[in-house]
Each structure stands twice: as structure tokens, then as C-alpha cells.
Amino acid sequence: MGARAELTPELVPGRSRTAAKTAHTAQTAHIARATYAAEETLSRDALATLQLERLRATLANAWQHVPWQRARLDAAGLHPDALRHLDDLERLPFSVKNDLRDHYPFGLFARPVEQLARVHASSGTTGRPTVVGYTAGDLSRWADLMARTLYAIGARPGDLVHNAFGYGLFTGGLGTHGGAERLGCPVVPMSGGGTERQVALIMDFGARVLCATPSYALAIAETAERQGIDLRASRLRLGVFGAEPWSEAMRERIEERLGLRAYDTYGLSEVMGPGVACECEARSGLHGWEDHFLFELIDPESGHPVPDGASGELVVTTLTKEALPMLRYRTRDITRLDRTRCACGRTHLRILRVAGRNDDMLIIRGVNVYPSQIEAVLVGRPGIAPHYQLVVERHGALDQLRVEVEALADTGADGRAALADDVRHHIKSMIGVTVEVAVMGPGQLPRSEGKAVRVRDLRSKGN
Ligand code: DLL
């Protein structure tokens, strides 16, 4: 691990908390070159050498221990000893979520179950769950990467971390927990739910860092406001938010209502969990930790690489996972890559904000729409609360989108009709799609306690 700089700004005695928070925000924006690990600033050449060495070891691990991987590697003529360049990996076909499902539960593991330290799994609401495993070494590297992630956003040893990511089979809670402990931060292992209690403990314990899905962070803010508690006056300074797509507009709302600086963090259980990529203080994309993962961006239709700057599907290869090496895993997440040097001094590429999943993209009358694009239009519109749901229905041969939003206050039928007109108009002019808008009364839409369910697809039900 490299040298660390101590940057924690203390509250200035005699100044209001809010003023101190503003000072902190200004200060963090100028912080640069403070890293948790020396690997974060390796030269590109050194990074490529390390990646090649680790990729060889990963292929060897997969080839020796996972019959399915061995067959694929052999068929591609990619015996681990034959790997000369990182690009050689392109000869190997992609792997997908169904490969994990087809080998349920442990068929793609490179270690027998007795040698594992932990197992996580997806909820399995749509088919068999995908099961992922970790050796003790994997858990330790995960904790390091999550500590690196927390450090990158400005958390420092001793900062109290309120962890509202779900604990359990979901990787968010325990993954973040391990990283906070590794960094030397005391953790409050809240998990999701019990929102009034979350508010009380944030206030009483004086948490400095909040970890949650962005939709749940907003639900916490709303519950506090309803209770007459001003979380902006709490000790919260930093937010680590992720596990679902969210917009810049949502970031602004969350920062305003919680009085903290909000950072985006990305990950997926198939390749590890949270801690795969994270924004730094520059907030101009998420550094993908390239000493542990290889990132590619492909055209989801053709599978061919897309040029830097263009949008495509992220493909990830693990470089240090022992229990479950994943080779060329198609994430379905649509993003862009930025390989230019970041102001913070880190050399790892940046993954731009994930717009959404390929499989969440709606095609409404020929227009491709991601829920996060609708969110960007809705959040912050006057009179509208930042909660929404999208209902997709089929009328005859045409797919129709109903956008359900919530009025901030009880405005009566006329007020609701005016709000609906305003939202419909802005969605049409900014995204180019005609939608139906239903304005509900305050508090009528469901609130998330984890990953928000944004889309209700009624098409398969014959509507
Ligand atoms: O959501 C891991 C995680 C936990 C990441 C906590 C960040 C914070 P999964 O449940 O396997 O793992 O879901 C992974 O969630 O493929 C994306 O579609 C989506 N996702 C995760 N982070 C972001 C993000 C965790 N920052 C899937 N922005 C991924 C947009 C995200 N989508």
C-alpha cells in the first residue's frame, strides 16, 4: 500500500455545522493525489504488465479447476501458456448470467465449497439465483478494494460509517462493511428498512458517511423531514451511493436534502460486488480498479469493441478472483469509457455513469428510453416529488409508457392535471417520446429500501 495523506477536515469550532460542511465540500473538490494504494497511480505500462501477469494466472486457475472454462479456453486455442498479449483474450467467447444459472449452484467455482469463506447470491426473482463464492483471500482483496473506494470519496480512518445497504445474500451490505472495517472506520451495520430508526441513529451516533442505494438515501431524507429532523444539521458529510442507476438531478436532490457530498459507486456480484469502480473527488467518472479487473466495452449487437467515448456494454474479466474467476463477463450495463488522465492523479480508466441495463431499455414507439433518462427530466421539476414508476403496457400493436409521479402537495384535480401536462411536455421535448402521465397524491408511490423497482412491465400479462 502506498503513502496516505491525511485530509480529514475537522469541524471548525464556533462555526455552524452547515458552514463547516460547505467548507468541507470546497476543500474536497481541490484534494488530489491522495490514494489508498500505490497501484492506483501505476503508469499505464506498469499496469498493463501487471494485468498480463494476473490474467495468465486467472486463465490458469480457470483452466485447471473449472471444466467448463477449460473446454472454452481449449476451443479458443487459449491455453494459459499461449497468452502473449492482453488482446489475445478477445479470442474467448463472452460469458453471461445464464452460464452461472446453468451451473447452479457451484459449477463454475474454481475451489471446492469446503475451501470457501462465503457465498452470496442474487435474489432469484426472475429464475434461478446466481450464486457467487469467495475464498478468504478473495474477501480480503474485496475489503481492500472497498476500502480504496471509501478512501477515494474522502472517508478516513475513524469516520463513522452508517451502512444502509442490505445485509444478507446481496453483496452491498457485507461488501461495504468489510471495506469500512479494513479502512479503520467503525461501521453501524444497519441494512435497509426501519427508516425512522435509521434517522434516529444517524443523528444520535453522529455518522459521517452514509452508504445506501440513492433511492433509499432519498427515502431516509424524506422520513427525517416528516419527523421534523434536519439531517443537514447532522454530522453526515459523505455519501456512497450505488447498486442502481441514478441521475445527476437525483444527486443534487440528495445532496440538498442530506447536506452531504454524494458519490457514485458501481459493482456487480458476478465479478465481486460493490468496490469495482468508484468516483473520486473530481467526480468525472468512476475509476474502474484495473489492477483487479479488465474492462472492455462492446457493441451489444455485434459484440465488437466500440471506440473510446462511444457508448457500449461493459464487459469485465476478473484478474485476482480465486473462487470464481469470470472471463469476459457481459454486464448488460450501458456506459462509456474515458481513458484520459483524471485530475486526481489516478491512472485507472473511468467508467462514466451507467445509464441503465441493456435489458431495462424500453422501446416506446421506436424510441429507446432508459428509466434514468425519464428520472433526469422528472427530478427537480416544480411541484413533483423525486419518486416515480414507469408502467409499460401494450395497446394493440403499440407499446405505451405510463409515467407515474407524485405531487409534492395536495393540489386537487386541476393542479394534478397541470402537473401532468408539464411533465408530459418536458418528456416529449427532452426525450422525444410521447407518454401518459399519472400524478398521484403525496406518499402514494412505493418507497424503496434497497434497489428501487422503477419499471412495471405489464406487457407479458396480455394487456
Ligand atoms: O448492486 C453491487 C453493489 C452494491 C454496487 C452496492 C454498488 C453499491 P448486484 O446486485 O449484482 O450488485 O447488481 C449489479 O446493479 O450490473 C448494474 O446494473 C447495477 N448497478 C450497480 N451499481 C450501479 C451504479 C450490486 N452505480 C447491477 N449505477 C449492475 C448504475 C448500477 N447501476
Q: What is the mean pLDDT of each run of 10 residues along the chain (463 residues)?
A: 37 38 45 80 98 98 98 96 95 96 97 98 79 98 98 97 97 98 98 98 98 97 97 98 96 97 98 98 97 98 94 98 98 96 96 90 88 92 94 88 95 94 96 95 93 89 47
Supply the pLDDT for residue 455.
92
The topology (CATH level 3) of 362-461 is: GMP Synthetase; Chain A, domain 3 (3.30.300)
Q: Which residues contact 163 (CB under 8 A, 6 or more apart)?
A: 173, 176, 177, 180, 187, 188, 189, 190, 191, 211
- Give ∠ CA 183-198-192 in degrees, rounded to 5: 75
pLDDT at position 459 is 85
Which residues, in sequence order, are bridge partners of residue 15? none
Report yes or no on whether pTM surpasses 0.75: yes
Residue from 120, 336, 354 to probe ligand 1 pocket by mutation (most atoms less than 8 Å from CB): 354
- Ligand 1 neighbourhood includes 273 CB (under 6 angstroms): yes
Reported as a single tens digit per residue, the pLDDT across 415-439 is: 999 999 999 999 999 999 999 999 9
Cβ–ligand 1 contact at 149 (below 6 Å): no
Tell me, what's the pLDDT at 399? 87
Q: How far is the CA of 448 from the centre of ligand 1 (A)?
A: 15
**Ligand 1 binding pocket includes 166 (Cβ within 6 Å):** no
Question: Cell for 434?
Answer: 410521447
Q: Is 134-357 in CATH node 3.40.50.12780?
A: yes
Nearest partner of 321 among 105, 60, 42, 94, judged by Cα? 60
Domain locations in the chain as residue ranges: 2-40, 134-357, 362-461
Please tell me whether residue 149 adopts helix, strand or coil conformation.
helix
Q: Whose CA is closest to atom 13 on ligand 1?
A: 268
Q: Which atom of ligand 1 is closest in space to residue 241's alpha carbon?
A: 8
The answer to whether the beta carbons of residues 151 and 184 sit under 8 Å apart is: no
- Using the mean position of ligand 1's atoms as its centre, give its distance from the Cα of residue 199 in Å: 24
The reported pLDDT for the residue numbered 126 is: 65
CA distance 39 to 35: 9
What separation in Å is there between the alpha carbon of 176 and the centre of ligand 1? 13
